[in-house]
């Protein structure tokens, strides 16, 4: 398979840069695979999610969550005081036992709606490179629904802070991410108080360094940039006051970002050799702007992009080119992605990356032209394979290496899922070789085609195709 083979290049365009080929998509990409991707970068940001109008905004979701949480706390206080009277949630008439359990009941429909919209959009997208970029940057700036308070806003975070910015400037995305309530909740900044702030002097301050640390280590300059523990602490102090309005003292804008000067650690701050005057909320914003344009950030981001699209251990030259483009354009992600698409290393026909479970499931649904997405089934399927949507295991996000996804148990679960899908899709299959060519194009080699021709049924053929290395890798 030569890299000049347009059939192979089209398959790489749709599988490595996209989310797997839909019926007819390989034909669209075959004439000019790189141009097919460039065309996706030439328009606006990714379209709104399928069914976006019915999704709950992050602030609305949090406002409802805060009401239920406050109600539960009030009930517990009354029970501890021996009052024990029945309580009902505002307007719903539920008894108190139901209210205690209703936080999960409130959160789960929001979560499932987000999963359905995200997955349906990915399955139907005609600009799959942009959807892959949404996933990439959402993983770079991870929040996890494993934290109860984040569960109702994890999907909104991706829609509101990531999706609009994947073709914009990195610095704008960074500001949107750190101002979003989901990130503030996930990394505990709502509970961070400056010791010398007005409220801290009155009630005692408790600095939480989580957000400052992860912004440096994971989101911007990276662990090898030479920053110190003092930089982490000082940055965390600059971020004090960045919180969320819970509605107790400010009835408007509940669930939205809120800067509270009374808990901000006063004074100038020096982070990585630069000193920033105390301008309140603007102090941390200025630090973020400088971090966004730092050469170490360019290198860190370039390395992650190359690792995702090229190889677990990407060529140094590829990383250099991406980092240089990042710096030359002021972090213009459209230009950085265009540079990525132009890299010859990214078009090596060797399938060096393994699809994550999410990529695997969506690429199968795209290739099989699935008519609809059932979110509960998607969640159960991905959960069994170790990648439940919006439940990354740590602030570092989901792993992005072959070793992380190629373990025996993970591979077995994929085969199980492929067999189950084959039992549903197989009876409708007319020709296994046609399906393989439609999904994999030039990557469907003679060995795979021969194996499929020997399948005993359509169900077995579909299972074999989805389980094949050519489909599992990208």
The total domain count for the chain is 3
User: Is residue 369 domain-shared with residue 288, that is, in the same domain?
Assistant: no
112 is a domain residue: no
The C-alpha atoms of residue 389 and residue 111 are separated, in whole angstroms, by 9
Q: Are 269 and 238 in contact (CB under 8 A)?
A: yes
212 is a domain residue: yes
216 is a domain residue: yes
441 is a domain residue: yes
The C-alpha atoms of residue 462 and residue 465 are separated, in whole angstroms, by 5
pTM: 0.94
Its domain, for residue 362, covers 357-472
Of the residues 236, 262, 292, the one at which a domain ends:
292
User: Is residue 367 domain-shared with residue 456, that is, in the same domain?
Assistant: yes
What's the pLDDT score for residue 77? 76
The C-alpha atoms of residue 318 and residue 310 are separated, in whole angstroms, by 9
Q: What tokens does 61 get?
A: 């979701």
Query: Closest Cα partner for 186 from 225, 216, 215, 217?
Result: 215
Of the residues 292, 310, 336, the one at which a domain ends:
292
What's the pLDDT score for residue 72? 81
Query: Closest Cα partner for 315 from 352, 276, 357?
Result: 352
139 is a domain residue: no
110 is a domain residue: no
340 is a domain residue: no
User: Is residue 283 domain-shared with residue 380, that is, in the same domain?
Assistant: no
User: Is residue 392 domain-shared with residue 465, that is, in the same domain?
Assistant: yes
Q: How far lies 34's CA from each of 66, 237, 340, in Å?
A: 48, 46, 11
280 is a domain residue: yes
Of the residues 292, 321, 344, the one at which a domain ends:
292
What's the pLDDT score for residue 98? 54
What's the pLDDT score for residue 101? 63
User: Is residue 195 domain-shared with residue 278, that is, in the same domain?
Assistant: yes
Q: How far lies 148's CA from each of 103, 152, 166, 262, 421, in Å?
A: 9, 8, 27, 27, 32
Burial of 192: CB neighbours in 10 Å, binned 0-12, 13-18, 19+: buried
Number of residues that make up the chain: 474
Q: Give me the tens of pLDDT residue by residue for the chain, a chain 474 residues long.
A: 344 589 999 999 999 999 999 999 999 999 999 999 999 999 899 999 998 999 999 999 999 999 998 888 777 777 777 655 544 444 454 445 555 568 889 999 999 999 999 999 999 999 999 999 999 999 999 999 999 999 999 999 999 999 999 999 999 999 999 999 999 999 999 999 999 999 888 887 699 999 999 999 999 999 999 999 999 999 999 999 999 999 888 888 999 999 999 999 999 999 999 999 999 999 999 999 999 999 999 999 999 999 999 999 999 999 999 999 999 999 999 999 999 999 999 999 999 999 999 999 999 999 999 988 999 999 999 999 999 999 999 999 999 999 999 999 999 999 999 999 999 999 989 899 999 999 999 999 999 999 999 999 999 999 999 999 999 999
Helix, strand, coil content of the chain in percent (nearest 5): 60, 5, 35
Strand partners, 244: 257
């Amino acid at each position: 398979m030569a890299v000049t083979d347009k059939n192979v290049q089209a398959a790489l365009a749709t599988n490595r840069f996209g989310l797997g080929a839909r019926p007819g998509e390989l034909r669209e990409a075959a004439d000019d695979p790189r141009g097919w991707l460039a065309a996706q970068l030439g328009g606006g940001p990714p379209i709104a999610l399928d069914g976006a109008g019915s999704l709950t905004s992050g602030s609305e979701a949090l406002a409802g969550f805060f009401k239920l949480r406050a109600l539960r706390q009030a009930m517990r206080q009354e029970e501890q005081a021996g009052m024990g009277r029945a309580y009902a949630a505002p307007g719903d008439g539920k008894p108190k036992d139901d209210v205690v359990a209703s936080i999960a009941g409130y959160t789960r429909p929001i979560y499932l709606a987000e999963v359905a919209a995200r997955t349906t959009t990915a399955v139907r997208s005609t600009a799959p490179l942009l959807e892959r970029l949404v996933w990439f940057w959402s993983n770079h700036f991870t929040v996890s629904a494993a934290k109860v308070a984040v569960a109702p806003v994890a999907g909104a975070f991706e829609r509101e802070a990531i999706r609009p910015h994947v073709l914009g400037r990195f610095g704008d995305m960074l500001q949107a991410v750190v101002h979003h309530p989901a990130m503030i909740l996930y990394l505990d900044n709502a509970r961070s108080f400056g010791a010398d702030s007005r409220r801290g002097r009155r009630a005692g301050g408790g600095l939480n360094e989580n957000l400052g640390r992860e912004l440096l280590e994971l989101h911007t300059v990276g662990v090898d940039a030479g920053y110190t523990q003092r930089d982490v602490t000082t940055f965390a102090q600059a971020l004090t006051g960045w919180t969320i309005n819970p509605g107790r003292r400010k009835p408007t804008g509940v669930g939205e970002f809120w800067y509270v000067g009374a808990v901000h650690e006063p004074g100038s701050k020096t982070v990585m050799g630069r000193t920033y005057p105390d301008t309140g909320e603007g102090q941390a914003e200025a630090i973020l702007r400088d971090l966004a344009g730092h050469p170490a950030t360019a290198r860190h981001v370039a390395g992650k992009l190359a690792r995702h699209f090229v190889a677990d251990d990407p060529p140094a030259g590829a990383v250099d080119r991406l980092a240089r483009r990042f710096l030359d354009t002021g972090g213009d992600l459209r230009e950085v992605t265009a540079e990525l698409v132009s890299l010859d290393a990214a078009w090596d026909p060797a399938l060096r990356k393994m699809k994550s479970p999410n990529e695997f499931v969506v690429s199968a649904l795209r290739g099989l032209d699935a008519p609809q997405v059932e979110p509960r089934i998607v969640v159960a399927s991905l959960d069994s394979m170790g990648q439940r949507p919006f439940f990354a295991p740590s602030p570092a996000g989901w792993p992005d290496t072959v070793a992380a996804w190629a373990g025996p148990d993970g591979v077995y679960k994929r085969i199980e899922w492929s067999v189950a899908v084959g039992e549903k899709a197989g009876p409708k299959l007319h020709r296994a070789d046609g399906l393989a060519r439609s999904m994999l194009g030039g990557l469907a080699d003679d060995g795979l085609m021969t194996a499929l021709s020997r399948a005993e049924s359509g169900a077995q053929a579909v299972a074999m195709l989805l389980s094949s290395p050519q489909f599992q890798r990208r």
